[in-house]
Amino acid sequence: MTLLFSRLGTRRRAPREGVLPDRLPPGQHLPRGWPVLHYGPVPTFDEQAWELQVFGATGDGTDVRMDWARVSALPRVEVRGDLHCVTKFSVLDNVWTGICARTLLSLVPPHPEVSHVMVWGEYGYSANLRLADVAGGSAVFATHRNGERLTPEHGFPLRLVVPHLYAWKGPKWVRAVEYLTADRRGFWEERGYHNGADPWREQRYSYQEVPGEGPDF
Ligand SMILES: Nc1nc2c(c(=O)[nH]1)N[C@H]1C(S)=C(S)[C@@H](COP(=O)(O)O)O[C@H]1N2
Ligand SMILES: [Mo]
């Protein structure tokens, strides 16, 4: 397992000219292009073996497994959404095409007591989200960006995008969605990242978590 930090600088850079400062959360800058950043290797997609699992506190108590044919036949939406990495790059104005998280929630309704969702990627990467963050309408299980199919490095065949949170909350190579009746920290949240991940409040690391602030703590 290696950390891929290759194209990231920690230098402060001014927003590129023409970008309204209110489009960029505090401390963020615009890189050239779209950096690739993740922990561990890029998985290969095996269409025959691939499944999306929905498990945990489902409404009727049963787990659901969907193969790629089923998932790729689900209705698609287009969502315009920025991507803000906690390491301080932001990629603005992406058009994500994919399956609205709401569609999945209506297909596999969660138990009424579900408050949070854990989204799992390949190799055990995970991110916890409040149900409200997933159900809000902007969260999308994306297959395409700006009309082009995602590359393997960017999460092909399916990656979650939650534009209003730091991008670690959006697992690439999504394989499962777990319904939770109590919050549980995901991969980076267990390793010192902030549970809330609101880029506009710079919720980067857990030492910044303020008890009683926001619905999570
Ligand atoms: N499966 C998986 N998804 C992941 C990560 C990861 O390490 N593994 N890293 C996250 C982080 S920290 C960021 S910033 C974005 C980067 O997405 P990109 O490489 O498409 O820019 O992916 C997120 N999703
Ligand atoms: Mo990130």
Q: Is the pTM of this model over 0.85?
A: yes
Burial code of 165-194, b = ≥16 C-beta within 10 A, e = fewer?
bbbbbbbbbbbbbbbbeebeebbbbeeebb
Task: Please report which confidence band the pLDDT of residue 215 belongs to, taking 50, 70 and 90 as the band edges.
Answer: very low
CATH code for 50-183?
3.90.420.10
Q: Check whether 1 has a pLDDT greater than 90.
A: no
Pocket test for ligand 1, best of 90, 162, 168 (most atoms within 8 A of CB): 168
Task: For residue 34, give the ligand 1 atom closest to its CA.
Answer: 21
Domain residue limits, the chain: 50-183
Distance 63 CA to ligand 2 centre (A): 30
* Structure confidence by residue, pLDDT tens digits, 92-132: 999 999 999 999 999 999 999 999 999 999 999 999 999 99
- Residues lining ligand 1, Cβ inside 6 A: 34-39, 85, 121, 125, 154-155, 167-168, 170-173
